[in-house]
Every structure is written in structure tokens, then in C-alpha cells.
């Protein structure tokens, strides 16, 4: 059922005595004997109230009802996003997120959890799925087509959960948590090792960068240092021709020195050609304007290209 139909999804009354039995079941071993509450100091509480048009308020923490001194209950989220514990409804009783209670849910995943800020899995009202429950199974779906509570700015939730006929739509707008879900991310260790953190905050090795490649925070790719032109005296490292204007028939000297590249070639439109990441070579006799081109393969697969022009000295003739 789509969330847009929530106002049309109303409680379909069971036989009156069945409704009374469900209510009674909620109070069997009433709130004075709450299920055991298990959470650790690292868990983040879920607080506030969910609202159902059919069964009313669902309390997610005893602190909201002021009963923690006598009956301690509540749902919480562990660092991996798994929800545990119990909520309380005066009409349907205990609502469980305990993993063992969720076994056999209508569709996987059964575990109630927050993944990337969105709830998924199931909750179960313990008063359902009994011979006296009128056929209600107690399941409450935390996500589906067009619905599912998600954490919004300020720690509140939006949207609805779906509890079928008895519970109907459960509005989570009054439920909140300070849990900060893990967004999938990449991190870098020792400039060489990329690690991946998944939405459940589990970290695993993703890739190893082999020097001179390195990693950086937030990137899943191995990076490479950019090409560098090595200067020495008057030589800049870029492709240079000395001299750049020569008398007809004389050579020029071509020099270059490039680091962080795998290879380079220098070619002239007169047929000259050399290779290597650095070099100093004498050209063929320059007979006319000649263009030399340097092309280097960068470590990241890109190309570095530049050129230099060698001109011939004009010949002046007296008339």
C-alpha cells in the first residue's frame, strides 16, 4: 500500500470480543513486568512517540512516559545501525525490535536497523501472532514502496511505518534520535591503503596504491603526482631549442627534463625524433622553420604536450 493511501487505511474491526482480547493480551504480564531491556553505553536511544490512527500512541522510551524508575524500556541504535529493545502501546502492548522476535518476518531483511539514515526491516507487536489475536500477526514494516521513516535534520524522523490492519500507518514525526548513521565513505591510511566504510559502519580494505601512486581522504581511486618540469640553471625542463634562430644549415640543441611521467617523445616535422623523460640532442641541419613537439605520458594516463619552433636566420642580399 502506498503512503498516499494512509488516510484511507483504517482499522477494519475484528469481532468486538477479539478486539477486547487483543487489548487484554497487551496487558498480560502488564507493564509492570516489561521485557528485559538490553543496551550498551555506546547505543543511542530512540525517544518520542509514534502515532497510529487505529491504536494511538506508541512510546519508544520510558523517559517519555516518566516510568523509568519503575519500568525501564526503550529502543536504541548501536554504532552499526541495528535497532534493539522495546516500545510500548497501551492498546497492543510491547512492540519489539529484538532480533529473535523478528525471525520469520514477511520479507527480508528482518533485522530492524538504520542504513544511511533510513529505517529498514521490521518491528513486531508481541500480542500478535497468537490463537487469540484474531489472525493478526503483529508485524510492522519499517520500509516499503513509497514509505519508510528516515532521519532528518535535527534528529527527527519523517514518513511512516506500516502495520497492516490493526496498527495501520504509524507516523514517526514525533520520534527522534541523536544517532548519526555512517555514510558510505573512503579513507586513506599511510598514503597507500584505501579503506571503505559501509552504511553499517563496518570498515574493510578497498585497494592498495603502489608508489608513486598515493591515496587521499574521500577518494576511492589511487592518485598520481602531476608531471613536473625539472629546472637546471637556464634550462626550465620544458622543451627548449638553443638557439631558437639558427643560420640555414646549422643544428639546434633540443633539451627537456620531465618527472612523474612514464615516457616522453620529441619529434620534429623535419623527421627528427627522440624518446626518454629527459634529453639533450642536436637536431638535423635546420633548412627552414621547424616545429618540435614534446609528448609525455603522465602516470595517471593523461598526456602532456607542448612545442617549440626553430626559425632560420634571414639571409640579406645586397641589390
Q: Where are the domains of the chain?
A: 3-177, 182-223, 228-312
Beta strands (DSSP E) in 110-209 are 113-115, 118-120, 122-125, 139-141, 150-151, 157-158, 160-162, 169-171, 175-177, 185-189, 193-197, 203-208
Cα torsion 26, 30, 31, 33: sign: negative
- Number of CB atoms found within 10 A of residue 36's CB: 9
SS3 31: helix
Question: Is-contact 199 206, C-beta < 8 A?
Answer: no
Residue 164, pLDDT score:
84
DSSP labels for 12-29? ----HHHHHHHHHHHHTT
Predicted local confidence at residue 80, as pLDDT: 84
Tell me what pLDDT residue 10 has. 37
CB 30 within 8 A of CB 38: no
pLDDT at 129: 66
Instruction: List the CATH code of the domain at 228-312.
Output: 2.60.40.10
Q: What is the pLDDT along the chain (319 residues), one digit of tens a residue?
A: 454 454 344 333 333 334 434 444 444 444 445 566 556 778 999 999 999 999 999 999 999 889 898 889 999 999 888 999 999 999 999 999 999 999 999 999 999 999 888 999 999 999 886 545 566 889 999 999 999 999 988 889 999 999 987 899 999 999 999 988 777 899 999 999 999 988 767 789 999 999 999 999 999 999 999 999 999 999 999 999 999 999 999 999 999 999 999 999 999 999 999 999 999 999 999 999 999 999 999 999 999 999 999 999 987 666 6
Query: Alpha-carbon distance 319 to 304, whole Å?
Result: 48
CA angle 149, 155, 160 (to 5 degrees): 15
For residue 37, the model assigns a pLDDT of 59
Provide the H-helix boundaries in the chain.
16-27, 62-65, 164-167
**Can you tell me the distance from the alpha carbon of 271 to that of 286, in angstroms, rounded to the nearest whole number?**
11
- The cell numbers describing 27, all together, are 496487558
Cα–Cα dist 64/68, whole Å: 9
| pTM score | 0.55
The answer to whether 254 and 240 have CB atoms below 8 angstroms apart is yes
Q: Are strands 245-246 and 303-312 parallel, antiparallel or unpaired?
A: parallel
Q: Of 2, 9, 15, 111, nearest to 55 (Cα)?
A: 9
Q: Which residue has the cell 522510551?
A: 61
Amino acid at each position: 500500500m502506498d503512503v498516499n493511501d494512509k488516510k484511507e487505511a483504517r482499522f477494519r474491526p475484528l469481532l468486538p470480543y477479539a478486539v477486547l482480547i487483543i487489548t487484554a493480551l497487551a496487558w498480560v504480564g502488564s507493564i509492570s513486568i516489561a521485557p528485559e531491556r538490553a543496551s550498551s553505553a555506546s547505543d543511542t536511544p530512540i525517544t518520542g512517540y509514534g502515532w497510529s490512527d487505529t491504536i494511538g500512541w506508541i512510546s519508544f522510551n520510558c523517559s517519555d512516559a516518566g516510568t523509568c524508575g519503575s519500568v525501564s524500556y526503550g529502543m536504541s541504535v548501536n554504532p552499526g545501525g541495528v535497532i534493539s529493545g522495546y516500545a510500548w502501546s497501551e492498546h497492543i502492548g510491547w512492540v519489539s525490535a529484538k532480533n529473535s522476535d523478528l525471525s520469520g518476518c514477511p520479507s527480508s531483511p528482518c533485522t530492524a536497523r538504520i542504513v544511511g539514515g533510513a529505517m529498514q526491516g521490521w518491528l513486531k507487536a508481541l500480542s500478535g501472532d497468537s490463537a487469540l489475536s484474531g489472525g493478526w500477526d503483529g508485524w510492522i514494516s519499517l520500509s516499503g514502496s513509497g514509505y519508510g521513516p528516515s532521519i532528518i535534520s535535527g534528529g527527527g524522523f519523517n514518513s511512516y511505518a506500516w502495520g497492516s490492519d490493526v496498527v495501520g500507518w504509524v507516523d514517526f514525526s514525533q520520534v527522534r534520535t541523536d544517532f548519526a548513521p555512517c555514510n558510505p565513505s573512503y579513507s586513506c591510511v599511510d598514503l597507500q591503503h584505501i579503506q571503505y566504510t559501509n552504511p553499517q559502519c563496518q570498515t574493510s580494505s578497498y585497494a592498495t596504491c603502489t608508489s608513486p601512486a598515493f591515496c587521499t581522504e574521500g577518494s576511492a581511486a589511487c592518485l598520481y603526482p602531476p608531471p613536473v618540469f625539472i629546472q637546471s640553471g637556464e634550462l626550465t625542463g620544458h622543451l627548449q631549442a638553443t638557439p631558437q634562430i639558427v643560420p640555414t644549415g646549422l643544428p639546434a640543441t633540443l633539451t627537456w627534463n620531465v618527472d612523474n611521467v612514464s615516457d616522453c617523445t620529441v619529434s620534429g616535422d623535419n623527421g627528427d625524433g627522440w624518446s626518454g623523460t629527459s634529453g639533450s640532442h642536436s637536431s638535423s641541419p635546420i633548412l627552414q622553420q621547424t616545429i618540435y613537439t614534446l609528448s609525455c605520458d603522465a602516470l595517471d594516463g593523461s598526456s602532456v604536450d607542448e612545442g617549440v619552433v626553430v626559425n632560420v636566420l634571414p639571409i640579406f642580399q645586397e641589390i
